[in-house]
Structure 1
Amino acid sequence: MPTPVELYFEAWQAKDPQILRPVLADDVVFDGPLAHVEGADDWIVALQGLFDATTALTVHKRWIDGDDTITWFDLTIGQSAAMPTVNWTQVDDGLIRRVRVAFDPRPMLGG
């Protein structure tokens, strides 16, 4: 069975955030350069838009330290250049509790 973080990226590749719902804490918090979202149901809605817009996702490396996982990947939205991205996912009792993402969004925004 995949870990919650592996399931997160599998759901992204499948463009189906509902796959992720069983491993999201109800009070999950997401923070990134373009959004702050609180709550699993709201995050599922936000993820659908992101997943639909993603044209390529290439995971390069994953580091695990207890309940914390850092994933380094390239993200392509639409026709933008690939954006190097880091995702810090915190898992507690098998549920994703917090996700922090950092990337430079200028390629996606036309800059």
Structure 2
Amino acid sequence: MEFYKFDIGSGKQISQFNSNFIMSRIIQTSKPAHIGCMHLGENGIVGYHQATVPQLFLVVNGEGSVRNEKDEYVKVLPGDAVFWEQDEWHETRTDTGLTAIVIESEELSPSLFMPEKKL
């Protein structure tokens, strides 16, 4: 399990085309990718299971905790990204609710695009 940041502090100012915004790079794939949005309500859980392919979990709202096979939960907040390798056991839970974008693909290398989160 690896942790990265995609918050405003990890982005770069974009001014091309008369623009004024900050872009935080996340990932680039050359193989097909499945992208979805998970909505976990109060006391929501994504049960303990193995990742079928590499998976990147991007928290956009709320808070929760994640774990892998070590059974130690780590708190996650908006702007945090969690990466699980294929076959890695993992679980996500929240007391108050959480929304996350999930990217699954055979080929994911988040370390090429996002800074690591210091735990």
If the TM-score is normalised by the length of the shorter chain, which range does it land in?
Answer: under 0.3
Q: Which has the higher contact order (CA 8 A, sep 6+)?
A: 2
Task: Please identify which structure carries the higher helix content.
Answer: 1
The higher radius of gyration belongs to: 2
TM-score by length of structure 2 reads 0.26
TM-score by length of structure 1 reads 0.28
